[in-house]
Structure 1
Amino acid sequence: MSAPSTNIEKQSKRHRPAIWGIIAAGVFAVVLFLAYLANLAAQGNEPGEDTSAPAAAATTDG
């Protein structure tokens, strides 16, 4: 059952901060996702590179 007298203008003013918060959270999530994809692309392997073996250590004992 709906309210008998709903003032749409008043409700839209009251909900504006929540809507902006949802939009800001969505933009933040998109920025994080794009940064994650850029990080994956930067650390990717070259074609023909063996991915099953771990990387060799830079220092040796001896």
Structure 2
Amino acid sequence: MSAPETNTEKQKKRHKTPLAGMGIVTGFALVLLVALIAFLSINGNEPADNEPVAADAIEPAAEGETAPAE
């Protein structure tokens, strides 16, 4: 079934505002995505941040002392 009225000029005029709004929202989302990628790149962790602590580097608690809670 086809549309009863196919006045394309009238339809262009009616759809201009919603299409512009969708374009603005899409552009804003892209700006936020680029900002997120830049933020994560700048504040990313360094390889040294993830190095495990060697077992011999941890000092055992002395007699009668309790180890601090982690």
Q: TM-score with structure 1 length normalisation?
A: 0.72
Moved over 4 A (4+): none
Question: For each residue in 1:4-59, what CA deviation from the matched residue of structure 2 results, as whole angstroms up to 9, or x when unmatched?
Answer: 3310000010000000011001000000000001110110122x313377xxxxxx
Higher relative contact order (CA 8 A, sep 6+): 1
Instruction: Quote the Cα distance in structure 1 between the aligned partners of 2:51 and 2:31.
Output: 31
Paired residue secondary structure (1:50): helix
Give me the CA root mean square deviation: 1.7
**Structure 1: gaps (5+ residues):** 54-62
**Unmatched runs of 5 consecutive residues or more in structure 2:** 53-70
Please identify the structure whose Cα radius of gyration is greater: 2
Identity of aligned residues (%): 46
Alpha-carbon separation, structure 2, partners of 1:11 and 1:5: 10
